[in-house]
Structure 1
Amino acid sequence: MDLSSSLYSLKDNGFLLTTPDPSDTSKDEMESLKQELEKWKAKLCVLNQENAELKREIEKLKEELAECCSALSQDGKIKKKVAEMKVVFTNMEDTEGDFPDMNTRCVFSVTTRIPFKLNQNHALLTLEDEEVAQRLTKMGKHTVNLDGTTADVKVVPLTVGIGIKFELHITISGKKISVSEIPELPIPDEWMRDKLELNFYKSEHGGGEVENIKYDKRSRTAVITFTRPGAMASIARGTRYPFYVNGRCHRLSVSPSTDGHLEKLQLFSGISTKTILLKGIKETEDDEESVQDMIEIHFQKPSNGGGETENIKYVSKGATWVCFEEDG
């Protein structure tokens, strides 16, 4: 080849071949890099916001944890002064198994309040002595002086509505706990019972050896019985219990297992022995409290067949409801 021959022209067969301008390429690359940088800045801004939100959430969880720890430090005990009482040993009771009975039993006496509608220009008067109330009722009508005017007031027995009285007996188990909010998992019931047993067997969470588990898949609840009384005490102090399954931690709601029943249920109604109903009280220009005082003074006088009063309620306009309860 003759190296000294002349160079061929870049223009050949109608095509013009040109080399790219390096300055244009640099501008495009710079613009692309700027756009990419803006994208990363936007992503960084979002991440910073999420990070700040997570920090606030962590602080909130720390505060909640501190409150829980403070509550647990009290060891679930309630300090309250109670009346001093004398305790007498009566007899021994056989216990089931090798452990004492750790159940807590409570009895609550419940009596409902009986409502009564007191209409306009009527009054209720409660006297200290039942005999005085009966005597005023037998007299029937009474002429009462109301600030210069008189009113023929009719006294009738007060018939009260139906009331209810019963005892509520509650037993808090020392060996059982109630568990709810169990997660729904596509596994047989027997497997779920096994997982619950393994989870509540762990002593680091306050559990112990499990005797029995009653699991209800439909309600997502279970009743767990431990072999030793007191094993459930530390669990029941909190309201949430960690449940690890399939690599995830769920929070179960736990509470002491309770059983309740009613005893001595009674329905009662009748006529009040100390409260009488006054009807036909005339309207006056005096205020309600003044009229009430004048009525009370009249029925306190022995000359009118009255006696000492405990309470009075008079309604001059509209109607009101009053409640009666058992006289202790």
Structure 2
Amino acid sequence: MIDTDHCGTSKDEIEGLKEELKKWKERIERAEKANTHLLCCKLSAEEECIKAEEELVKLKDFQEEQHKGNIKSRSNREAEVFLLSQENAELKREIEKLKEELAECNAVLSRDGRIKKKVAEKKVKFSHMEDMKDDYQDMNTHCVFGVTTKVPFRLNQNQALLTFEDEEVAQRLIKMGKHTVNLDNKTADVTVRPFTLEMGIKFELHVTISGKAINVAEVPELCIPEDWMRDKLELNFYKSEQGGGGEVENVSYDKHSRTAVITFLRPGAANSFVRCTKYPFFVNGSCYRLSVFPKTNVRLEQFQLYCGISKKTILLKGIQEMEDDEESIQDMIEIHFQKPSNSGGEIERIKYVSKGGAWVCFEEDT
């Protein structure tokens, strides 16, 4: 028999209805939460929209104020924009140049800390000979070469470099920053700036020419043991027919490279071979010609890197183009900056470029 209430509904049906009601309540709660979240998002979006409208109004007001407050003429604005674009392009070139210098500096530094730097080939000239300070002579020839590289600087169009005799004049003009120059009854506002030089190097090259040893090359290939070849070389240079040589202390022979080092016992014995480029070598009834040249020891000392700002030189920028030729404009600039009334002074050198560019080399100021 099934239990029913007074309305004729069974208990199971009532329980089912309760579960259904519970589910609907949960759905309503979730819907209310979603609705609340959407309302919050709507309010937030409205606030953002109001802020954006306020910012837009401010921006429009700012643009109107700028437009109303701009009292400069169109030509002046265009000239200012042109100068700024020139300075911007120049700064970009300087940045690229600095990047290249940084890459070069990183490249020349090897892992063991040594510095590798390419140095242009230079011709040297013998000037004088000095006696050794020691009480005895070692019969070696000692040479010392001082090498200092020139530092290049690129001078661009409508720029000038002025080097003054007095450092104070250059520093005074740099502190002024800008200067009005009179050029052929015309005035030009130019910028006075210092400039940083690129990296330069200087070092001493010490060369010692041995008075006891010589290098020998082009030793003939013979089917004899190496110790026999050493003995024949020793005997050949011991019995020199050209007035040189003497008792041999040691013979270092390399069969693969066909070279040898002959070391004499008497100091100064190798000096007689200085001007001898080919030397006769008699062996097994044949005569060969050996290449003979001094044995040298080369070492580099006091290697230094230097860079900095030239204290006596200034860089002029923004010189206006004129119809006069480059030499005439350079003379006018020099005359202007030589006058003390223009905060100038005596000029050692001047270089002005009206078109293109030019490289100017600086040497270390000793």
Number of the residue aligned with 2:160: 123
The alpha carbon displacement at 1:257 in A equals 1.2
2:184 to 147, 160, 163: 147
In 2, Cα distance between the equivalents of 1:252 and 1:202?
15
1:180 to 206, 210, 217: 217
User: What is the DSSP-based 3-state SS (H/G/I as helix, E as strand, rest coil) of the residue aligned with 1:137?
Assistant: helix
1:216 aligns with 2:223: no
User: What is the DSSP-based 3-state SS (H/G/I as helix, E as strand, rest coil) of the residue aligned with 1:237?
Assistant: coil
In 2, Cα distance between the equivalents of 1:108 and 1:306?
39
* 1:1-328 to 2 correspondences below 5 Å: 92=135, 100-205=137-242, 206-328=244-366
> Structure 2: where are the runs of 5+ without partners?
1-125
In 1, Cα distance between the equivalents of 2:193 and 2:164?
14
Q: Which has the larger radius of gyration?
A: 2
Deviation track 1:34-75 (CA, whole Å, cap 9, x = no partner) reads xxxxxxxxxxxxxxxxxxxxxxxxxxxxxxxxxxxxxxxxxx
Q: Scaled by the length of structure 2, what TM-score is found?
A: 0.61
> Structure 1: where are the runs of 5+ without partners?
1-79, 94-99
More helix by share: 2
User: What is the DSSP-based 3-state SS (H/G/I as helix, E as strand, rest coil) of the residue aligned with 1:326?
Assistant: coil
Q: CA distance change for structure 1 residues 131 and 252 in 2, over 3 Å: closer, same or farther?
A: same
User: What is the DSSP-based 3-state SS (H/G/I as helix, E as strand, rest coil) of the residue aligned with 1:159?
Assistant: coil
Matching residue's letter, 1:178 = N
The alpha carbon displacement at 1:188 in A equals 3.1
Deviation track 1:229-272 (CA, whole Å, cap 9, x = no partner) reads 22222222221111123333221111121111111111111101
Number of the residue aligned with 1:23: none
User: What is the DSSP-based 3-state SS (H/G/I as helix, E as strand, rest coil) of the residue aligned with 1:204?
Assistant: coil
Matching residue's letter, 1:179 = V
User: What is the DSSP-based 3-state SS (H/G/I as helix, E as strand, rest coil) of the residue aligned with 2:274?
Assistant: helix
Q: CA distance change for structure 1 residues 310 and 108 in 2, over 3 Å: closer, same or farther?
A: same
The alpha carbon displacement at 1:189 in A equals 2.5
The alpha carbon displacement at 1:168 in A equals 1.1
In 1, Cα distance between the equivalents of 2:133 and 2:249?
32
Q: How many corresponding residue pairs?
A: 240
Matching residue's letter, 1:322 = V
Identity fraction in percent: 71
Deviation track 1:64-110 (CA, whole Å, cap 9, x = no partner) reads xxxxxxxxxxxxxxxx9969x9x9x97746xxxxxx51112122211
Q: Scaled by the length of structure 1, what TM-score is found?
A: 0.68
Q: CA distance change for structure 1 residues 111 and 288 in 2, over 3 Å: closer, same or farther?
A: same
